[in-house]
């Protein structure tokens, strides 16, 4: 079958899979998702089971990742923690993208007073300390992981507004957008068909980066009573409690930190692959 005969979707898919690193990234993400789902069956121990006789044991054959300050198995906690952290990271950032990008597109394409209002609101939101929002939400909505994700999504959205707006403005002034307008295409069609694909790469990059921030943010929220509640683990809160033992028990910080790094690395590789797949020109190189 010739290349010309392929549908754009199939072509994108095949570009993606030709991208070995992207596939590798996808596999890693899939492993994390599986770990989160299968945590009850694959963890070697109960992540909540304390053991006062095995406190802060370094990694060994029995405890691959060592034990924490309450004698719990760190490996099991990393596996179970994937649930809270994947949710906090991916869903919260997904929410931020869904809120931020359309608003930013409207601002960038409409211009004028609509742009002014949206942009100033985004400026104002960037100035509100995350803590105030979090404490107020914690009091009102109650302590739950979903509320933490909401707080993260709200406070992460202005970045996407600003990014989408700047790119949309730039894209709207380009020759092909002018041409599309001249041909009588309605603005929403230009936005969806021409602008969005062009601004997708930076949004993908930002989304994959924001996930790392969101995972860490979930931890500070759980300390304020908003995120994952103890003793249930999340990578961020594991890191938080590891801070006290940074000299005496470094493995408490290393393993959850490594998990975040691997997830973020994998998501970025997937993002790069998607970028290449979505950009029709990049195949010609």
Partner 1 sequence: MAGWLLRRIGQIIPTLLILSFGIFALQQLMPGDPALILAGEDRGDPVVLAQIRAELMLDRPMWEQYLHWLSRVLVGDFGFSWRIREPVGALILDKLPVTAQLATMSFIIGVVIGVPAGVMSAVWKDKPADWGINAIALFGISMPNFWLGIMMILLFSVQLGWLPPSGYVPLWEDPVQSLATTIMPAFVLGTGVASVLMRHTRAAMLGALTQDYVRTARAKGVAERTVIARHALRNALVPVVTLGTIEFGRLLAGAVLTEQIFSIPGFGKLVVDAVFNRDYPVVQGVVLATALIFVALSLLADILYMLINPRLRNA
Partner 2 sequence: MLKKTLLATVLALSAGVADAQNLRIGLREDPDILDPTLARTFVGRIVFSALCDKLFDINERLEIVPQLAESHRWEDNNRTLRLTIRPNLRFHDGEVLDAEAVRYSLNRHLTMQGSFRRAEINVIESIEVVDARTVLIKLREASAPFLSRLTDRAGMLVSPRAAEALGRNFGTRPVCAGPFRFTERVAQDRIVLDRFDGYWNAQNIHVNRVTFLPIPDSTVRLANLQSGALEMVQTIDPDDVPAVRRNNRLRVSMSDELGFQSIQFNVGNGARAQSPIGQDARVRQAFELSIDRAAINQVVYEGMFTPSAQPFPPASPFHLRDFRPEPRNIERARALLREAGVRTPLQVDLTVPNNPDLRQVGEVIQAMAREAGFDVRLNAMEFASSLQAATRGEFEAYLIAWSGRADPDGNIYTFLNSRAPNNDGRYSNPDVDRLLDAARLESDVAKRRDIYARIMEIAVRQDRARIYLWHRRNIVAHTARLTGFAPVADGLIRIQGMRLN
Q: Is 119 in the site for partner 2 (CB under 8 A)?
A: no
Which of partner 1, partner 2, none binds 185 (CB below 5-8 Å, type-dependent)?
none
Residues making contact with partner 1 (CB under 8 A): 21, 111, 116, 119-120, 122-124, 126-129, 131-133, 135-136, 139-140, 159, 162-163, 166-167, 169-170, 173, 198, 201-202, 204-206, 208-209, 212-213, 216, 239, 243, 246-247, 253, 257, 260-261, 264-265, 268, 272, 275, 279, 281-282, 284-285
Q: Give the list of residues 6+ apart from residue 114 with CB closer than 8 angstroms, or none.
A: 106, 107
Residue from 10, 20, 193, 244 in contact with partner 2 (CB under 8 A)? 244
Q: Give exposure, 211-242, as e/b (b: 16+ Cβ within 10 Å).
A: bbbbbbbbbbbbebebbbeeebbbbbbbbbbb
Tokens of 109: 């394409």
CB hemisphere CA count around 240 (13 angstroms):
18
Which of partner 2, partner 1, none binds 55 (CB below 5-8 Å, type-dependent)?
partner 2
Residue from 147, 157, 240, 268 in contact with partner 2 (CB under 8 A)? 240
Residue from 243, 281, 284, 285 in contact with partner 2 (CB under 8 A)? 243
The per-residue DSSP string of 38-92 comes to HHHHH-SS-TT---TTS-SPPP-SSSTT-B-TTS-BHHHHHHHHHHHHHIIIIIH
Q: Is 143 in the site for partner 2 (CB under 8 A)?
A: yes
The nearer residue to partner 2, 64 or 223, going by C-beta atoms, is 223
Q: Is 43 in the site for partner 2 (CB under 8 A)?
A: no
Our measurement of the distance from residue 139's CA atom to the centroid of its chain's CA atoms, rounded to an integer in Å, reads 25
């Amino acid at each position: 079958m010739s290349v010309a005969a392929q549908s754009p979707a199939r072509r994108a898919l095949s570009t993606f899979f030709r991208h070995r690193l992207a596939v590798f990234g996808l596999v890693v993400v899939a492993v994390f998702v599986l770990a989160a789902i299968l945590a009850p069956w694959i963890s070697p121990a109960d992540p909540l089971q304390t053991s006062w006789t095995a406190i802060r044991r370094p990694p060994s054959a029995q405890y691959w990742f060592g034990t924490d300050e309450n004698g719990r198995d760190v490996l099991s906690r990393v596996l179970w923690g994937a649930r809270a952290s994947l949710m906090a990271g991916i869903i919260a950032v997904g929410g931020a993208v869904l809120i931020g990008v359309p608003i930013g597109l409207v601002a960038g394409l409409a211009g004028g007073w609509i742009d002014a209002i949206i942009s100033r609101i985004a400026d104002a939101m960037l100035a509100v300390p995350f803590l105030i929002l979090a404490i107020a939400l914690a009091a009102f909505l109650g302590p739950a992981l979903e509320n933490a994700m909401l707080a993260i999504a709200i406070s992460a959205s202005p970045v996407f507004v600003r990014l989408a707006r700047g790119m949309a403005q730039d894209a709207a002034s380009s020759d092909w957008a002018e041409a599309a307008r001249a041909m009588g295409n309605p603005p929403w069609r230009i936005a969806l068909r021409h602008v969005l694909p062009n601004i997708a790469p930076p949004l993908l990059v930002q989304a994959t980066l924001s996930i790392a921030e969101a995972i860490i943010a979930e931890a500070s929220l759980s300390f304020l009573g908003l995120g994952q509640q103890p003793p249930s683990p999340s990578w961020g809160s594991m890191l938080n409690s590891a801070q006290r033992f940074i000299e005496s028990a470094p493995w408490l910080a290393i393993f959850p930190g490594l998990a975040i790094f691997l997830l973020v690395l994998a998501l970025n590789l997937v993002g790069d692959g998607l970028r290449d797949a979505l950009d029709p020109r990049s195949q010609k190189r």
